[in-house]
Amino acid sequence: MPDTSSPQTAAPEAAAYEPTERTVPTRSRERAAYDHEMVHAILDEAYVCHLGFVRDGAPVVLPTLFGRVGDRLYVHGSTGSRPLREAGRTDPGLPVCLTVTHVDGLVLARSAFHHSVNYRSVVVHGIARTVTDREERRMALDAIVDHVVPGRSADSRPADEKELAATAVIRLDLREVSAKLRTGGPNDEARDLALPHWAGVVPLARGYAEPLPADDLDPAIAVPDYVTAL
């Protein structure tokens, strides 16, 4: 059954998410975090999420764009997309698991066993519901565009009626959520410290190249400030 409640009726944001059986890791529990601001920061820095659900008794994981508005995530797709259709057909919605991950460094240890990566990740469990309210759908689509390039939705043509009719939006409330992080260098065994192998971290950083205009773009149209700001 679609949930047509508006964003204004959402529950107020909390300082931290309550740990549950599904959000407490079985290994390296000290790396788990439930801080509200940390979770949002990790989500906001990611471009792509992975949406997992069960279809015909088998797991399916789809990479997709998303947007965050407060304590809600929005995902869009074709109205013909099976998970988006099922989110509106099932009551109370479609059980999903959504994840994002950033790799911040390659951790090279003296032993093969202790090689790792430094990372930041978020896992969200919940029920995805179809958004049917017209204004919320428009707001969600703008949020998805602005999630990729802040300010872009106001500098592009909004979806027309035909495009809106072909686009489905689902909403996932941030309730059962956890972050997990690894930082620092390799955790080598004391017996391996004298081995003649380089050990340390190779940091990774995200970067942007020079914007490439479309082949048919009017040369008089300059690159917007919000693009150069990236």
CATH of the domain at 79: 2.30.110.10
Instruction: Report the phi/psi class of residue 126: left, alpha or beta, with left for phi > 0 and alpha for psi in -120 to 50.
Output: left
Question: Can you say whether the dihedral through the CA atoms of 188, 189, 193, 195 is positive or negative?
Answer: negative
What is the extent of the structural domain holding 72? 7-185+222-228
The answer to the question of residue 191 being in a domain is: no
Span 141-182, pLDDT tens digits: 999 999 999 999 999 999 888 988 888 899 999 999 999 999
- Would you say 54 and 156 are in contact if contact means Cβ atoms under 8 Å apart? no
Residue 68 Cα distances to 49, 146, 183, 209, angstroms? 11, 10, 26, 26
Number of domains in the chain: 1
63: its two tokens? 């990479």
Q: What is the Cα–Cα distance from 162 to 160, expressed in whole angstroms?
A: 6
State the average pLDDT over residues 74-99: 79
The answer to the question of residue 209 being in a domain is: no
Q: What is the Cα–Cα distance from 162 to 97, expressed in whole angstroms?
A: 30
158: its two tokens? 């909004």
State the average pLDDT over residues 122-132: 94
Span 14-53, pLDDT tens digits: 588 888 889 888 777 788 888 999 999 999 999 999 999 9
Span 186-199, pLDDT tens digits: 999 999 999 999 99
The answer to the question of residue 125 being in a domain is: yes
Q: What is the Cα–Cα distance from 152 to 185, expressed in whole angstroms?
A: 38
43 burial level (CB within 10 Å; 0-12, 13-18, 19+): buried
125 has a pLDDT exceeding 70:
yes
pTM: 0.86
Span 92-120, pLDDT tens digits: 889 999 999 999 999 999 999 999 999 99
- Which of 69, 70, 129 has the alpha carbon at shortest distance from 95? 129
